[in-house]
Amino acid sequence: EDGYALWLRYAPLPGAARAQLQAQARTVVRLAPASPTTDAAMAELQRGLAGMLGKAPATGNTVADGALVLARAADLPDTVRSSLALADAGTEGYVLRRTRLQGKNVFLIAANSDIGLLYGSFAWLRAAASGAPLESASAPALKLRVLNHWDNPDRTVERGYAGQSIWDWWALPDIVDARYLDYARANASLGINGTVLNNVNAKAEMLSPAFIAKAAALAGVFRPYGIRVYLSVRFSTPLELKETATADPLDPQVRAWWQREADEIYRAIPDFGGFLVKANSEGQPGPQDYHRTHVDGANMLAAALAPHNGAVMWRAFVYAPGGTKTDDRAKQAYDEFKPFDGRFAPNVLVQVKNGAIDFQPREPFHPLFGAMPRTPLMMEFQITKEYLGFSTDMAYLGPLFQETLAANTHHGSPPLSVADVLQQAPGKLTGMAGVANIGSDRNWSGSHFDQANWYAFGRLAWNPRGDARAIADEWAAQTFSRDTAVRGAVTGMMMVSREAVVNYMTPLGLHHMMGTGHHHGPAPWVDNLERPDWNPVYYHRTARDGIGFDRTATGSNAIAQYAPALAAQLADPRTTPEQVLLWFHHLPWDYRMASGRTLWQELISHYDRGVRQARDMQAQWAALAPAIDARRHAETAARLQRQAANAQLWRDACIAYFQSVSGLPLPAGVAPPAHDLDHYRKLRFPYAPGNG
Ligand code: BDP
C-alpha cells in the first residue's frame, strides 16, 4: 500500500459482505452499445469486483439472474424504464436499482448517456466498497466540475506540495504516461468533468502549436472518462508571440487572432472546454492595460469560443494597482465586478474564490455570492493547502468547503445559500473549480490524507449540499478500512483537523499572518513589503489598544458589501460569529467573549487548543497502528509529528508577537513561548516548496 490506488483500492471484502456482493454481480452484462466510455465502465466494474471478490465475474450480453446490468434508457423496455424516473438523472446522472428484467432478477445501472453509466458504475463500486446501500439515484447539481492545475511548462507547480507536475510536458505528445489514465479514473469516480492543465499565471507558449498538440494528447486519454481539457491563457498572448501589435480586446486584429486560435485549438481538440483567465491581478496583463474592462476582455474571448461551445472562466481574484483603489483589499473584487452584473456574454462564468482575501484557513464567504444575480458565478476553492500547512499538516477541507457552501447569503427570498447561488446561476453554465493538489508523488497528493481533499472537492462539486463528515467516512472506508471503529477514528481526526489548523494559525477571524512568499510558518510581524496589503500587520492590526480589522462603518465598511440583513448582523461584535470576529472588528484586549474570558485570554486559549488538537491527532493515529498498513501508517505518523511541532511554532511565535505589542502578561497557567520573539523573527525557510 503506497497510496497510488487512492480511494479506488477495491480491497478484498470480509466474508459476509463478499457473499452478499457476489449475489448482486454474478455476471456483468452490457446492454448499452460498446463505446470507449462503456468500455471504461465495464473495465472498472471488472477491476473493482476482482479486487473486492477475489475474482472478476464473467461479462456478456445475456441477462441472467444475479446479473449486474449496464443499460441506457434506450436499451430498456418501457415498463422498466418508466419505473426508474430516469428523467431526473439528466444527461450525466444515474439510477442504481434492483429490478426484474427479461424475467430475471438483476441489479441495474441505468442512465441516459454513456457517461451516466460510467458515473453510475463508480457510484455502485463506491457503495460496495464502503458498505453503503447499493440502490441510489443521483445527478450532478453543477455543470462544470473542474480541477485547476497551477502547473508550469517546466513541470514546477505553483503552490504544489506533491512533487512535480504530473504532466510530463517535455515527453508529450509522443510519450503518454500510463498515469494519465489513472488520473482520469480517479476524477471520473467523483464526477469531475474538466481539467485546466496549466497555471493561471500562464505563459504565452501554452497556445503554441506544440503545446496544443500536447494538450490534445491528454484530451485523448481523458475523453472516454467525460473529462474536457481547458487551458489558462495569458491575456497578452498574441502580442507576446509577436502576432499582433497590441492585446487590446477591442482591436479587430486581436479579436481575429483569438478567433483563429480558438478554431485551431478545436481542430486539435474538438471537445475543448475553454479558457481560464487571470487578468489584471498580481501583475498579470489584462484589458485594463488598454483602459478596457473585464467585460471587454472576457467577452472577446467568449466570442472566439462561442461557435465551438467553449466557456470562459474569468477570475474575480483581483487587487491590482491598476484596479479600483480601496482602503481594504477585501473589497476590491466586489467593487470591480459588481457593476458589471448582467454584462458578460452567456458563455462567461466569473470564477470567485470562496473568500474575499485569499484561501485562508477560515474566511467568511465572498460578498460577490448573491450580489450578481444576472451573472453565472463559479466557486473557486483551493484544494492544495498553500495556507494550511502544505502537505505536511493534516487539514481535511470538507468542513471548510461545506461551511462556505452552506453559508446564508441573505440575498433572495427565501434567502439563498452560497450553494443555491452557484446552482441558480442564470443561463446554461454553473460550476465549481478546485485548485488541484496533485503531483508526481507516488501517492499523488504528497500525503495520504491530502487525497481526501481532492475527494471531498469532487463529491461537493457533484452535490454542493453534501455532508463533509459523511464524505470523510466514505473516503476513510475506501482508503483505509471498512471497519466501523477504524473508519470512525479516522473520520474523527479528519473532522477536527481543519479547526486545529485555524486554532494554531489564525483563530477568531485573524488572517494572512504567514511567512512572505512561500507562505509557510508564522510571520505576523511583517510590515515592510512593497504594498501595504501584502503585510500581515495590515490584516490583524495588532496594537496597544486591541486587535482585528475594523470592517464596519467606522472602518473600511466592507460589511456593506453583504446583503443588508447580514451587514446589520456583522455591524455589531455581539452578533458576529466569534469564529470571524476579528475579521470584522477591531476590539480591545479586555473585550468580554461569550465564554466570559477576555479577548486576550480567549485568543491564547485558541492557540493552546490548536496545539493540543495537533498532539491528540498524533496520539489517535498512533493507536490505529494495528489497523493500518505499515507504510501508510508510518508516513502519516511522521507528518503528524511535524504538524505538532508546526502548531507549537505558530502558537509560540504568535503569542510572543502579540504580547510584544499588547504588553499584557500571560494569563495564569499559560506556558510562555519557548523562545523570545527575536528567535522567531529570524527563522528562515529557504527552498520551501511551491513557489513555482
Ligand atoms: C495566491 C497564491 C498565488 C496565486 C494567486 C492566484 O499565493 O501563487 O497565483 O493566489 O490565485 O494565493 O492567482
User: Residue 518 Cα, ligand 1 centroid: separation in angstroms?
Assistant: 11
- 317 CB within 6 A, ligand 1: yes
Which region holds residue 39: left if phi is over 0, alpha if psi is between -120 and 50, else beta?
alpha
User: Residue 668 Cα, ligand 1 centroid: separation in angstroms?
Assistant: 41
Identify the residue with better confidence: 245 or 428: 245
Long-range contacts of 91-94 (CB under 8 A, 24+ apart): 91/115, 91/116, 92/116, 92/119, 92/139, 92/140, 92/191, 92/193, 92/226, 93/119, 93/137, 93/138, 93/139, 93/140, 94/119, 94/120, 94/123, 94/137, 94/138, 94/139
Residue type, 429: L
Contacts of 248 (CB under 8 A, 6+ apart): 254, 287, 290, 292
User: Residue 243 Cα, ligand 1 centroid: separation in angstroms?
Assistant: 29
Mean predicted confidence (pLDDT) in 304-320: 95
- 408 CB within 6 A, ligand 1: no
Residue 434, φ and ψ in degrees, nearest 5: -130, 130
Residue 692: band (very low, low, confident or very high) from pLDDT cuts 50, 70, 90:
low
Spell out the SS3 assignment of 495-538. Answer: HHHHHHHHHHHCHHHCCCCECCCCCCCECCCCCCCCCHHHCHHH
Burial of 676 (C-beta count, 10 Å sphere; 0-12/13-18/19+) = exposed
The reply to whether omega before 133 is within 30° of 0 (cis) is: no
- CA 344, 346, 352, 354 torsion: positive or negative? positive
pLDDT in tens, 186-233: 999 999 999 999 999 999 999 999 999 999 999 999 999 999 999 999
Of 149, 151, 158, the residue with max ligand 1 atoms within 8 A of its CB, to mutate for a pocket test, comes to 158
Residue 60: band (very low, low, confident or very high) from pLDDT cuts 50, 70, 90:
confident
What b/e readout covers 222-259, taking b as 16+ CB neighbours within 10 angstroms? bbbbbbbbbbbbbbbbbbbeeebeebbbebeebbebbb
- 200 CB within 6 A, ligand 1: yes
Q: Where are the beta strands (DSSP E) in 367-456?
A: 377-382, 431-435
pLDDT in tens, 605-626: 999 999 999 999 999 999 999 9
Mean predicted confidence (pLDDT) in 46-70: 96
Residue 483: band (very low, low, confident or very high) from pLDDT cuts 50, 70, 90:
very high
| Ligand 1 atom showing the smallest separation from residue 284 Cα | 13
Residue 322: band (very low, low, confident or very high) from pLDDT cuts 50, 70, 90:
very low
Mean predicted confidence (pLDDT) in 23-33: 97
Residue type, 144: L
Residue 307: band (very low, low, confident or very high) from pLDDT cuts 50, 70, 90:
very high
User: How far is residue 207's CA from residue 194's CA, in Å, rounded to a whole number?
Assistant: 18
Classified as helix, coil or strand, 314 is strand
User: Residue 245 Cα, ligand 1 centroid: separation in angstroms?
Assistant: 29
- Nearest to residue 235, comparing CAs of 163, 293, 174, 172? 293
- 145 CB within 6 A, ligand 1: no
What is the per-residue pLDDT for 426?
A: 85
**Grid coordinates belonging to 240:** 507576446
User: How far is residue 266's CA from residue 648's CA, in Å, rounded to a whole number?
Assistant: 52
User: How far is residue 655's CA from residue 676's CA, in Å, rounded to a whole number?
Assistant: 10
List the single range of 169-183, 317-331, 370-384, 451-465 with lowest mean pLDDT.
317-331
pLDDT for 310 beyond 80:
yes
| Ligand 1 atom showing the smallest separation from residue 692 Cα | 8
pLDDT for 441 beyond 60:
yes
- 159 CB within 6 A, ligand 1: yes
- The protein residue with its alpha carbon nearest to ligand 1, atom 10, reads 358
Q: What is the mean pLDDT of the chain?
A: 97
- CA 214, 391, 200, 91 torsion: positive or negative? positive
- 387 CB within 6 A, ligand 1: no
User: How many CB atoms are located within 10 Å of the residue 678 CB?
Assistant: 9
Q: Give CA separation, 169 vs 216, 261, 440, 627, in Å.
A: 12, 20, 13, 40
Q: Give CA separation, 647 vs 228, 506, 541, 614, in Å.
A: 40, 11, 22, 7
Residue 319: band (very low, low, confident or very high) from pLDDT cuts 50, 70, 90:
confident
| 472, 480 Cβ separation under 8 angstroms | no
Mean predicted confidence (pLDDT) in 551-579: 98
Spell out the SS3 assignment of 83-122. Answer: CCCHHHHCCCCEEEEEEEECCEEEEEEEECCHHHHHHHHH
User: How many CB atoms are located within 10 Å of the residue 165 CB?
Assistant: 24
| Ligand 1 atom showing the smallest separation from residue 281 Cα | 13
Q: Indicate the pTM of the whole model.
A: 0.98
Beta pairing, strands 377-382 & 136-138 = unpaired
User: How far is residue 391's CA from residue 388's CA, in Å, rounded to a whole number?
Assistant: 8
Q: Give CA separation, 290 vs 251, 322, 341, in Å.
A: 10, 11, 21
| DSSP output for 588-605 | ETTPBPTTSSBHHHHHHH
User: How far is residue 86's CA from residue 109's CA, in Å, rounded to a whole number?
Assistant: 11
Q: What percent of the chain has pLDDT over 90?
A: 97
Residue 408 DSSP one-character state: B
Strand-pairing partners, residue 314, are 277, 350
User: How far is residue 415's CA from residue 412's CA, in Å, rounded to a whole number?
Assistant: 5
pLDDT for 393 beyond 60:
yes
User: Residue 125 Cα, ligand 1 centroid: separation in angstroms?
Assistant: 36
Beta pairing, strands 27-30 & 67-72 = parallel
- 457 CB within 6 A, ligand 1: no
- Please give the ipTM for the structure prediction: 0.99
- Nearest to residue 13, comparing CAs of 130, 165, 162, 144? 130
Q: Where are the beta strands (DSSP E) in 524-667?
A: 546-547, 587-588
Q: Give CA separation, 152 vs 168, 170, 185, 262, in Å.
A: 10, 11, 23, 21
Cα 84 to chain centroid, rounded:
33
User: Residue 568 Cα, ligand 1 centroid: separation in angstroms?
Assistant: 31
| Ligand 1 atom showing the smallest separation from residue 380 Cα | 11
User: How far is residue 191's CA from residue 477's CA, in Å, rounded to a whole number?
Assistant: 19
Mean predicted confidence (pLDDT) in 632-649: 98
User: How far is residue 519's CA from residue 304's CA, in Å, rounded to a whole number?
Assistant: 37
Angle value at C-alpha 478, between 632 and 380, nearest 5 degrees: 90
- The protein residue with its alpha carbon nearest to ligand 1, atom 2, reads 159
- 358 CB within 6 A, ligand 1: yes
| 409, 417 Cβ separation under 8 angstroms | yes
Long-range contacts of 178-184 (CB under 8 A, 24+ apart): 180/218, 180/221, 180/222, 181/221, 182/4, 183/438, 184/221, 184/222, 184/224, 184/225, 184/227
Which residues does the annotation mark as catalytic?
A: 282, 358, 386
pLDDT in tens, 664-689: 999 999 999 999 999 999 999 999 99
- 319 CB within 6 A, ligand 1: no
Residue type, 314: W
Q: What percent of the chain has pLDDT over 70?
A: 99
pLDDT for 320 beyond 80:
no
User: Residue 164 Cα, ligand 1 centroid: separation in angstroms?
Assistant: 18
Strand-pairing partners, residue 432, are 145, 379
Cα 559 to chain centroid, rounded:
26
The reply to whether omega before 414 is within 30° of 0 (cis) is: yes
Domains of the chain, start order: 15-138 (3.30.379.10), 144-479 (3.20.20.80), 503-549+586-681 (3.90.1330.10)
What is the per-residue pLDDT for 323?
A: 43
User: How far is residue 173's CA from residue 158's CA, in Å, rounded to a whole number?
Assistant: 23
| Ligand 1 atom showing the smallest separation from residue 353 Cα | 11
